Amino acid sequence: MNMKTNFDLSALFLRIIGGGFMLAHGWPKLMKLINGDFKFANPLGLGPEISLGLTVFSEFFCAILILVGFKTKWASIPLMITMLVAAFIVHGPDPFQKKELALVYFLIYLALFFTGSGKYSVDQQLGKQQN
């Protein structure tokens, strides 16, 4: 395999991990929102309802965008913010082990922000149709 293929496969794997795995966190929060259960952390002082809504937007909807590779760079921004809030505000006083997963996700989204979605993505397919 050449370097371009390796890059594109790496971007695909990052998207599957960063988008697909995040859905396991976003889905239960989406169900809370749909069921009207607004008991949720309020780390930024916006209110639990808004905090839950923003987290669902990020962890569910942006995760789907990343998974399929549509507007990956833009979709990574809310997820990076959410992961930094989780690591440094929600788990601020906790030991590193409690922050670790959020920081790993943050680094995945940061990498995707810089690399983009790669060849195996909706972005790439839409770009080909426009040419």
**Do residues 109 and 83 lie in contact, with contact meaning Cβ atoms separated by under 8 Å?**
yes
> Mapping DSSP to helix (H, G, I), strand (E, B) and coil, where does residue 45 land?
coil
Q: What angle do CA 82, 113, 42 make, to 5 degrees?
A: 5
What is the domain extent for residue 31? 3-130
- Where is 68: in which H helix or E strand? helix 63-68
pTM of the model: 0.92
Q: How many domains does the chain have?
A: 1
Q: Tens digit of pLDDT per residue, the chain (131 long)?
A: 688 889 999 999 999 999 999 999 999 999 999 999 999 999 999 999 999 999 999 999 999 999 999 999 999 999 999 999 999 999 999 999 999 999 999 999 999 999 999 999 999 998 875 43
